[in-house]
Structure 1
Amino acid sequence: MSARTDLAWSAEIASERTERALTGLAEDPAAASVFTRDLGPLAREQAALAPSIASPLAGAITSIKALFDVAGETTTAGTKVLQGEPPAERDAPAIARLREAGAVFLGLTNMSEFAYSGIGLNPHYGTPDNPAYPGCAPGGSTSGGAVSVALGLCDIAIGSDTGGSLRIPAAFTGITGFKPTQATVPLAGGKPLSDTLDSFGPMARSVADCELAWQVMAGLPAVPEAPEVGRLVVARNFGFDELDPVIAEGFEAILSALGDAGFKILERDLGCIDLYGKFAPWQMTSVESRAHYEDLFQGRAEDFDPRVHSRMSRADELDAVSYRQALNNRNAFAEAFAAELGGDFLLLPTTPLLPPKVSDLSDDAEFGRANLLALRNPSLANCADGCSLAMPFGHNDLTLSAMLIGARNNDAALLACGKAVEAVLTRLG
């Protein structure tokens, strides 16, 4: 059952499409564990109002990651420990903007607990199956959001990205994910993982749909950028180790196709990668998550996902000086990355690995290996305070993903270049 079928969203058919989506949510076995809570009554109310709202987003069926405040709903962030918290009194600002623009909220989507994993497993609410790779992990942490779009239940999924949590699930499920520059979308009203690295943004089936959702979330005019063939940098000194052979083959195929399409591709190392080696993302995520959830971490350890609790515990390895040094080194890297990349865009595989089988992830060592590898390439953009797009393409009958990374505040140009790249990728099979 698909909300989309051959019907693009519009305000006039919002109610019809919403009923299709709600039916699919209730009846399609593939929808199991995608949502932590459906918002059927609210969705029907919003769909009925959509024709009265003058916005290109009006009628778009949208899923909301369970870490965002939605008025009247408890914000669980995929946890057990927050289930008893009082409902939110108001929408998060980014969610309020979507509501005002006529988006239809189908439900709150499943996620890795506290958004602290790139794989997407959840021991409390179950793990959504991956429609592109059945039996495999959906990617995280915005797991349910990606699957809601990949199944056709939703047009847009709203999520967060601390080290790839929009782009990894987009890559694993064959859709598009956009991580904006952090400052463009307000972080208020979202349960934090890392104040330093968190960004809020959308996933969808196209760059244009992601662009529109981001513009609304950012409070910008909904004016689409025209596609633009930008300069692409391929830096072999980062992101190309341990590539699955089919991912390596697919990347070379898109390089050839993009070159034939007129893109200028610059093969050169990134000098700032030396600075990147002076800190690690976990130094921010562990300390900053503990700062927000320390009472729960200490008092209700038995109710945590053990793997999340273990990652938070790494904060004990750092003293205050080491943490501040990590922040200083991160800021220096972000400045150097922006200066070196300028208006060009880094092109690399979104993840080095294909989605791992869920059955293989019961082993903690294998889970840890896969999680670190999945996060490796996307985390660069968060540490650089940049913007980034993950876009799907086909190769050898498999769905793969390529990623663009731009310097901070270069979001509009990245999206314009992404549209031009997307036009080439959609021709591959």
Structure 2
Amino acid sequence: MSNQDSVFIRRPFIDISGQQNGPLSGAIVSVKATFDVAGYPTTAGTQILGAQCAENDAEAVARLRAAGASIMGHTNMTELAYSGVGLNPHYGTPVNPLAPNCIPGGSTSGGAVSVATGLADIALGTDTGGSLRIPAAFCGLTGFKPSQASVPRSGCAPLSQSLDSVGVMANNVETCELGWQILASDWCSDQRDADLTIVVPENFGLDQLDDEIAKGFEEALERLKKHGIRIERQTLPLFDDYKTLPVWQFSAVESRRHYGPLFSLEDERLDPRVRQRIKRGESVSDQTFNDTCAQRAALIEHSQADYADTVFMMPTVACLAPKFEELESDEEFDRINLLCLRNTTFANVIDGCSISLPYQFNSHTMGIMLTAMNGKDRSLLALARAIQPLLAEASPCSND
């Protein structure tokens, strides 16, 4: 199977029926296989679903089509969107175009590779714990997870109703911003611009980093400071509180509640690693999950009250894109998957917005992530636009 074949669940289709003078006229948008596209089955990366074709477009797809986009897809993904690494045993896994022996990241794996290889201008995807930002970081792209309420999720197969967001990946901030403005057309105009203070949290997101990621992040900070970008370092109680939350419960419990009535969780066609995580939700009582939801609500209230004009900066992912061979054992798969998701999931839990910007140093590519509170999308994107060219400047030659 070629890499182009594995980008898509099935042979690509292109629909150019969108208006010819819209803001996305001429742009090709790939669509993650979790979204309904009229006339095509919605597989969500599994072989169990998708027996019938969707009658209507998902609302996000309809808005992009109405803006003139040519719809291309469905792109490959982790089965049911349940991992941050992007492996799919049913349809193959697209190879990272920047590192052919390495994973693309997930769960929006095919979407990232479709943009990174020039097959699409924008990738429409979902982000439950980093599923847009992780593959963006690994594939040298910009990935934007907007405030959850800004983009409708109707016609999109869920993983976690609490954490799912619909967003985009592209080659730059401006294209992501245009895509979001179209997807959030009846919401984003109500936002007000705000000056955001950049804070690097000393007690979260900076431990267990690959040496290259640690060096690259510090290099990026110094570069931004030299250009007059003010960056503070603080130890924040918010992150200590966050670490006590059993985040895994949201996807485990809510995916079980959604998919349990649709098919047997013992179905042999289900990826065993996905089955294991969904079934873990069986161990959580309704009362326990209600308590977890209440704890999250308190965390959201705290973060929005105390950090309304703060943007947190950290590496998008703690490691460089792992090699496929590193994920062969279940133990290593679980460890790497959690490490990939660690920094990104915070934004979903606090109901915030977050963007990953590509940063290249020496021969490596990583993501620099900015995370702000709910409803600060416009201000976050403005800050990202200002930072983007500074990160893209050529680095001095290094022998490291």
TM-score by length of 1: 0.88
Q: Residue 109 of structure 2 contacts residue 135 of structure 2 at CA under 8 Å; is this kept in 1?
A: yes
Instruction: Provide the rounded CA distance (Å) in 2 between the counterparts of 1:281 and 1:254.
Output: 29
2:28 matched residue in structure 1? 61
Q: Deviations over 1:200-244 (max 9, x none)?
A: 000000001000001111125999x9x998421011100011000
AA at the equivalent of 1:77: A
2:316 matched residue in structure 1? 350
Q: Deviations over 1:297-341 (max 9, x none)?
A: 536521101000000011122111100011011111112122222
Q: Residue 178 of structure 1 contacts residue 388 of structure 1 at CA under 8 Å; is this kept in 2?
A: yes
Map of 1:313-328 to 2, 5 A cutoff?
313-328=279-294
AA at the equivalent of 2:24: L
AA at the equivalent of 2:34: L
Instruction: Provide the rounded CA distance (Å) in 1 between the counterparts of 2:142 and 2:239.
Output: 26
Instruction: Provide the rounded CA distance (Å) in 2 between the counterparts of 1:287 and 1:277.
Output: 19
1:121 counterpart SS class = coil
1:272 CA drift (Å):
1.2
Q: Which consecutive unaligned segments of at least 5 residues does structure 1 have?
A: 1-27
Instruction: Provide the rounded CA distance (Å) in 2 between the counterparts of 1:314 and 1:297.
Output: 16
1:424 matched residue in structure 2? 390
Q: Residue 67 of structure 1 contacts residue 75 of structure 1 at CA under 8 Å; is this kept in 2?
A: yes
Instruction: Provide the rounded CA distance (Å) in 1 between the counterparts of 2:36 and 2:184.
Output: 16
Instruction: Provide the rounded CA distance (Å) in 2 between the counterparts of 1:103 and 1:37.
Output: 20
2:351 matched residue in structure 1? 385
Of the candidates 110, 119, 141, which is equivalent to residue 175 of structure 1?
141
Of the candidates 119, 123, 130, which is equivalent to residue 96 of structure 2?
130
Q: Residue 123 of structure 2 contacts residue 170 of structure 2 at CA under 8 Å; is this kept in 1?
A: yes
Instruction: Provide the rounded CA distance (Å) in 2 between the counterparts of 1:308 and 1:207.
Output: 32
Q: Does 1:70 align with 2:43?
A: no
Aligned pairs, how many? 393
Q: Does 1:270 align with 2:243?
A: no
Instruction: Provide the rounded CA distance (Å) in 2 between the counterparts of 1:182 and 1:229.
Output: 21
AA at the equivalent of 1:66: A
Q: Which consecutive unaligned segments of at least 5 residues does structure 2 have?
A: 396-400
- State, as a whole percentage, how many aligned pairs show the same letter: 48
1:33 matched residue in structure 2? 6
The alpha-carbon distance between structure 1 residues 153 and 188, as it changes in their structure 2 partners (threshold 3 A), is: same
Instruction: Provide the rounded CA distance (Å) in 2 between the counterparts of 1:38 and 1:339.
Output: 48
Q: Residue 81 of structure 2 contacts residue 108 of structure 2 at CA under 8 Å; is this kept in 1?
A: yes
1:368 CA drift (Å):
0.5
AA at the equivalent of 1:164: G
Q: Residue 120 of structure 1 contacts residue 140 of structure 1 at CA under 8 Å; is this kept in 2?
A: yes
Let me know the Cα RMSD of the aligned residues: 1.9
Instruction: Provide the rounded CA distance (Å) in 2 between the counterparts of 1:134 and 1:229.
Output: 40
1:32 counterpart SS class = helix
Instruction: Provide the rounded CA distance (Å) in 2 between the counterparts of 1:385 and 1:363.
Output: 33
2:119 matched residue in structure 1? 153
2:398 matched residue in structure 1? none
Q: Residue 353 of structure 2 contacts residue 375 of structure 2 at CA under 8 Å; is this kept in 1?
A: yes
Instruction: Provide the rounded CA distance (Å) in 1 between the counterparts of 2:196 and 2:225.
Output: 11
Q: Does 1:107 align with 2:54?
A: no
Instruction: Provide the rounded CA distance (Å) in 2 between the counterparts of 1:427 and 1:417.
Output: 17
1:6 matched residue in structure 2? none
1:50 CA drift (Å):
4.8
Structure 1 segments of 4+ aligned residues over 3 angstroms from their partners: 220-223, 227-230
2:264 counterpart SS class = helix
